[in-house]
């Protein structure tokens, strides 16, 4: 009856001795690891802020700035974690091998998202476009509002956000017109009207809009084509993408009104029907 009790006390004594030895041997390592982790997070935040400030002073665009600051933070924290693990005598080689094997196995299951991340990295580092640019790609267009590793967000004039996966951008034909987008319109005038006068009137009408881009390519106005009942006068100009539809409608109205005031007629399609009265009907 006493023997089992003695064995239990001996076992408890052994456990207590091992726990005491563990605390004595590893207490400083645990405290040191915690301090290293906290210091790593604080240092990572500081380095990220410093990198972001440096990029801002150098005029780096906001997308690349956020990417570099986040990358710097991750690198610092990763080093802190590795140093903390070394305090316990843990080698990181098996972890790296396991992560590599898991990543290789997950490549097939995550092929879509991973391709988006790779394409996003190419966009950010290659600076194909930046926030504020107007791009046309994959059948959509808009002002670039945000670029992440996974997708690019475009904003249209109507306030609609268009999310485009980055894999549909890299390798495709991309149009980047900066902050502006070109407007192409035309108006038909009568064959009896003077096209030189019509071009001058349209030029004057366009000059009254301050939102039309004055620097760079000037508005282009000239005879576009010869239609059945009119001469088409085409005009092209650059306007801010965020005011594209608004400007186009206002300019078209101004062109119509100015041509009317100048006496330049805008014809409508007409057909002439000739009836032969002498034709015998059977």
Worst-scoring range by mean pLDDT, 21-25, 203-207, 218-222? 21-25
Worst-scoring range by mean pLDDT, 62-66, 76-80, 275-279? 275-279
Give the CATH number of the domain where residue 8 resides: 1.10.287
Q: Strand ranges (DSSP E) for 109-196?
A: 134-137, 140-147, 151-155, 161-165, 175-176, 180-189
**pLDDT of 224 higher than 80:** yes
The residue segments making up the domain with residue 243 are 180-261
Using one digit for the tens of pLDDT, what is the confidence trace for 185-204? 999 999 999 999 999 999 99
- pLDDT of res. 88: 62
Quickly state the pLDDT bin for 109 (edges 50, 70, 90).
Answer: very low
CA distance 262 to 279: 46
Using one digit for the tens of pLDDT, what is the confidence trace for 14-71? 776 666 666 666 666 667 777 878 888 888 888 888 887 887 777 766 767 777 788 7
Mean pLDDT of 233-260: 93
- Three-state DSSP at 77 gives helix
Q: Tell which wins on pLDDT, 104 or 69.
A: 69
Q: Are 268 and 232 in contact (CB under 8 A)?
A: no
Mean pLDDT of 162-176: 89
- pLDDT of res. 102: 57
Does residue 97 sit within a domain?
no
Does residue 114 sit within a domain?
no
Does residue 146 sit within a domain?
yes
Residues 172 and 184 placed together within one structural domain of the fold: no
- pLDDT of res. 44: 82
- pLDDT of res. 262: 93
Does residue 104 sit within a domain?
no
Residues 184 and 161 placed together within one structural domain of the fold: no
Does residue 276 sit within a domain?
no
**pLDDT of 122 higher than 50:** yes
Residues 221 and 170 placed together within one structural domain of the fold: no
Q: Tell which wins on pLDDT, 42 or 234.
A: 234
Give the CATH number of the domain where residue 136 resides: 2.30.30.60
Give the CATH number of the domain where residue 205 resides: 3.30.70.100
Residues 189 and 171 placed together within one structural domain of the fold: no
In the chain, the number of structural domains is: 3
| Mean of the per-residue pLDDT values of the chain | 80
Q: Are 247 and 239 in contact (CB under 8 A)?
A: yes
Residues 198 and 158 placed together within one structural domain of the fold: no
Does residue 106 sit within a domain?
no
Quickly state the pLDDT bin for 108 (edges 50, 70, 90).
Answer: very low
**pLDDT of 282 higher than 60:** no
Q: Which of 40, 65, 90 is the last residue of a domain?
A: 90
**pLDDT of 165 higher than 60:** yes
- The DSSP symbol for 242 reads G
Residues 184 and 172 placed together within one structural domain of the fold: no
For the chain, what percent of residues have pLDDT higher than 70?
75
**pLDDT of 239 higher than 70:** yes
Residues 169 and 184 placed together within one structural domain of the fold: no
Q: Are 151 and 63 in contact (CB under 8 A)?
A: no
Residues 186 and 162 placed together within one structural domain of the fold: no
CA distance 144 to 132: 5
Does residue 153 sit within a domain?
yes
Does residue 136 sit within a domain?
yes
- pLDDT of res. 49: 84
């Amino acid at each position: 009856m006493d023997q089992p009790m003695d064995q239990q006390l001996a076992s408890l004594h052994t456990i207590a001795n091992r726990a005491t030895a563990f605390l004595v041997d590893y207490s400083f390592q645990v405290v040191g690891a915690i301090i290293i982790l906290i210091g790593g997070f604080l240092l990572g935040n500081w380095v990220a802020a410093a990198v972001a400030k440096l990029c801002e002073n150098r005029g780096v665009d906001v997308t690349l700035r956020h990417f570099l600051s986040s990358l710097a933070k991750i690198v610092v924290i990763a080093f802190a974690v590795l140093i903390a693990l070394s305090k316990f005598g843990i080698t990181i080689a098996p972890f790296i091998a396991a992560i590599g094997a898991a990543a290789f196995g997950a490549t097939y299951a995550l092929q879509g998202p991973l391709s988006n991340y790779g394409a996003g990295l190419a966009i950010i580092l290659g600076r194909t476009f930046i926030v504020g640019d107007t791009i046309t790609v994959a059948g959509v267009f808009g002002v670039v509002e945000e670029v992440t590793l996974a997708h690019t967000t475009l904003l249209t004039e109507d306030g609609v956000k268009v999310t485009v996966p980055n894999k549909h951008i890299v390798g495709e034909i991309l149009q980047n017109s900066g902050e502006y987008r070109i407007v192409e319109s035309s108006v038909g005038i009568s064959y009896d009207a003077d096209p030189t006068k019509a071009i001058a009137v349209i030029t004057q009408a366009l000059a009254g809009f301050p939102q039309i881009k004055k620097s760079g390519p000037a508005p282009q106005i000239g005879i576009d084509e010869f239609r059945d009942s009119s001469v088409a006068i085409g005009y092209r100009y650059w306007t801010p993408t965020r005011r594209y539809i608004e400007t186009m409608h206002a300019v078209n109205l101004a062109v119509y009104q100015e041509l009317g005031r100048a006496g330049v007629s805008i014809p409508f399609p007409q057909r002439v029907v000739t009836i032969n009265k002498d034709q015998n009907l059977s």
